[in-house]
Amino acid sequence: MGIPVRTFDAVVVGAGGAGLRAALQLAEADLRVAVLTKVFPTRSHTVAAQGGVAASLGNSEEDHWHWHMYDTVKGSDWLGDQDAIEFMCRKANEVVIELEHFGMPFDRTESGKIYQRPFGGHMSNFGEKPVSRACAAADRTGHAMLHALYQRNVRVHTQFFVEWMALDLIRDAEGAVLGVTAMEMETGEVCIFQSKATLFATGGSGRMYYSSTNAFINTGDGLGMTARAGLPIQDMEFFQFHPTGVYGAGILITEGVRGEGGVLRNASGERFMERYAPNAKDLASRDVVSRAMATEIKEGRGCGPNKDHVLLDLSHLDPKVIMQRLPGIREISMQFAGADPIKEPIPVVPTAHYQMGGIPTNYTGRVVAPRNGNPDAVVPGFYAAGECACASVHGANRLGTNSLLDLLVFGKAAGESVVEDIKALPKSPKDLPKDAADYSLARLARLDGQANGEGVHEVQLALRRAMQDHCGVFRFPDMLKQGVDKIMEVAGRVGRTEIKDKSKVFNTARIEALELDNLVEAAKATMVCAATRQESRGAQAREDFPERDDANWLKHTLWYRDGNRVDFRPVHLKPLTVETIELKKRVY
Amino acid sequence: MSEIDRVRWHCRRGMLELDLVLSRFMDAVYGALAESDRVAFSKLLEYPDNDLWDLVSARAEPEDLDVFEILKQVRAVAPKRAAG
């Protein structure tokens, strides 16, 4: 075969918050662990998380994990698994205090406790009034978390493989996962990482949208590998959007701009929110504003040659107000839209932010896939945590500050599961199948040998446009139907991408082509599941099915690459110890 | 080619703001830089993401004088109007 094989107890793919937290658990248990990462760990996308991490510490007022659980179930529009949500909310205090002991510089109260602030959707006493539950390190919570976790890993000699890209999962005839193939960017060499446990912490796939807040690295690599290995990915139709990202860039413009008097206008200059929300107008809730923007664009009243965005106009405000109250926004607009909001409007569009779906796991971080009538059958040797995973705690909609909590709790839990499972396994790993690397090598050979193909950037742009136009924040039946055809056509083009530069050493063109192979699987899953789910719930808002439909759709979608097929799994409505939080309409 | 590719990859960051500004700089400026400026740029890339963004967006000034000149060039790259 000639492919080098490196053997470890565990391989973690991804070194953001979830990967680092998991790796720490493994290394502290004296397992031999390899962490593969495309970029240096502290440059992972976790660094962009500002808001904080939720935990019912009750440092400034009374709080309880059960209240946090209620908020999370309600936030999820009842699609979250209640066992996993109970588990996460109960574990929150422990993982946050642990992090404090790792050196995380949390903001503090005068008495020295971790300072907590309120955050949207977090309430006391089962939805009664807002509660201070978010723990933060100024506006750099994710950054501080990554640095604390990275230092801790260095201390226990976690072995990092920086600038390595995992290519494919290796499974045996029984379906167990035996490791991954991976490529070192420096040399272009492919290697097998054989392991008793493979843990994915590869982050989200937000780059599938034309307008996205996600960093370039978020290409859904774990989802692509999982789908190609014949395993399902879950609930991908649920993607969280912000109403106002800078068109063409994705940088967010805070809702505070509309609070200061900024108004949204369409191509004819009309202040269209007056039609959709006559009272609240531009200050209507986030989903109402997003849907109105999407409707204007869909009905041909968008701005620019492609009629694909609207304008956020501040030019009627006193320049002094803009300079004094919104200096950061002016800077962002000039830097990323080339527009000075004192003189001209900012082009904006609903912008993708967070993927609620992902690789289905149970609350211990073990990956599950239906088998022999068991919807929760564990895939031996395979684990996932963080944004790439779907435990599912966010269900149809994530609450702010629950994503950093998710990666801490399930990073640790998945690590603990690996430690426990490995104890029960024989000393030496299972034999690799003879053809373990063949699939990856064939993919690379296809790419190197492709003639008369298309450029990666061209195809990637077509993918992102198709997702933005057909599967955005507000979903129309005709657009979804065309969207499925369109994304399948794009998928065909992804299979024929061509790179001009065939060199082995640090070939970023090849890496981007491989990333696109992953992104397209996540995009297909998102489009197909959005078209399949005939209801509106959480982040899935359909024009033709405006209501939640628990009788027919209180279930997880599972998308399989083979046959582009959708299957379903029941939602776990039974928590671990408390009573089920009964279905209600989600109103705030 | 591979050296530019390596630097370009090091412009892949955790924050989208940096991805956008740094890739703009790579496309518009990096190719014409003198070796000493390239070294300084690589040094700039060693900063953690949040600190680097504070520098690029002029909310902070560098203590390290080696990166001062190159930072001015990064700040000066004009924003690209969105295509379309």
Complete domains list, chain B, with CATH: 2-76 (1.10.150.250)
**Which of A81, A39, A86, A52 shows the shortest CA–CA distance to A67?**
A86
Q: Does A586 touch chain B (CB under 8 A)?
A: no
Nearest to A508 among B9, B16, B57 (CB): B9
Give the tens place of pLDDT for each residue, B29-69.
999 999 999 999 999 999 999 999 999 988 899 999 999 99
Q: Which CATH number fits domain A239-354: 3.90.700.10, 3.40.50.300, 1.10.10.10, 3.20.20.70?
A: 3.90.700.10
Would the CB atoms of A248 and B49 count as touching at under 8 Å?
A: no
**Which of A208, A256, A297 shows the shortest CA–CA distance to A530?**
A208
> B46 to chain A, minimum CA–CA distance in Å?
10
**What is the chain A residue with the closest CA to B80?**
A338
Would the CB atoms of B84 and A251 count as touching at under 8 Å?
A: no
**Which of A180, A533, A476, A512 shows the shortest CA–CA distance to A356?**
A533
CA distance linking residue A62 with residue A124, whole number of Å: 8
Q: Sort residue A226 into left (φ over 0), alpha (ψ -120 to 50) or beta.
A: alpha
Give the end-to-end CA distance of chain A in Å, rounded to a whole number. Answer: 60
The reported pLDDT for the residue numbered A114 is 97
* Domain spans in chain A, listed from the N-terminal domain onward: 239-354
Contacting residues for A380 by C-beta, under 8 A, at least 6 apart? A174, A175, A176, A177
Would the CB atoms of B2 and A42 count as touching at under 8 Å?
A: no
Contacting residues for A294 by C-beta, under 8 A, at least 6 apart? A350, A472, A473, A474
CA distance linking residue A179 with residue A170, whole number of Å: 5
Report yes or no for ipTM above 0.90. Answer: yes
Would the CB atoms of B16 and A334 count as touching at under 8 Å?
A: no
The reported pLDDT for the residue numbered B84 is 37
Cβ contacts below 8 Å, chain A against chain B, sum to 99
Q: Which helix (H) or strand (E) holds A556?
A: strand A555-560
**Which of A408, A424, A422, A409 shows the shortest CA–CA distance to A364?**
A409
Contacting residues for A18 by C-beta, under 8 A, at least 6 apart? A201, A385, A386, A387, A388, A389, A406, A407, A408, A410, A411, A414
Which residues on chain A are in Cβ contact (under 8 Å) with B6?
A: 506
Q: Which residues of A are catalytic?
A: 286
The reported pLDDT for the residue numbered A331 is 87
Would the CB atoms of B82 and A347 count as touching at under 8 Å?
A: yes
> A458 to chain B, minimum CA–CA distance in Å?
14
Task: List A residues 289-328 in contact with B (Cβ-Cβ < 8 A).
Answer: 304-306, 308
Strand order in the sheet with A116-124: A53-54, A129-135, A116-124
Q: Does A48 touch chain B (CB under 8 A)?
A: yes
Neighbours of A434 (CB within 10 A): 8
**Which of A117, A88, A185 shows the shortest CA–CA distance to A406?**
A88
By DSSP bridging, strand A33-37 and strand A159-162 are: parallel
Q: Does A286 touch chain B (CB under 8 A)?
A: no
Which residues on chain B are in Cβ contact (under 8 Å) with A214?
A: 16
Quick one: A374 exposed, middle or buried, by C-beta within 10 A (0-12, 13-18, 19+)?
A: exposed
Would the CB atoms of A38 and B12 count as touching at under 8 Å?
A: yes
The reported pLDDT for the residue numbered B83 is 43
* pLDDT tens for chain A, residues 1 to 588: 589 999 999 999 999 999 999 999 999 999 999 999 999 999 999 999 988 999 999 999 999 999 999 999 999 999 999 999 999 999 999 999 999 999 999 999 999 999 999 988 999 999 999 999 999 998 899 999 999 999 999 999 999 999 999 999 999 999 999 999 999 999 999 999 999 999 999 999 999 999 999 999 999 999 999 999 999 999 999 999 999 999 999 999 988 899 889 999 999 999 999 999 999 999 888 889 999 999 999 999 999 999 999 999 999 999 998 888 888 889 899 989 999 999 999 999 999 999 999 999 999 999 999 999 999 999 999 999 999 999 999 999 999 999 999 999 999 999 999 999 999 999 989 999 999 999 999 999 999 999 999 999 999 999 999 999 999 999 999 999 999 999 999 999 999 999 999 999 999 999 999 999 999 999 999 999 999 999 999 999 999 999 999 999 999 999 999 999 999 999 999 999 999 999 999 988
Nearest to A336 among B1, B79, B84 (CB): B79
Q: To probe the interface with B, which of A39, A251, A336 has the most B CB atoms within 10 Å?
A: A336
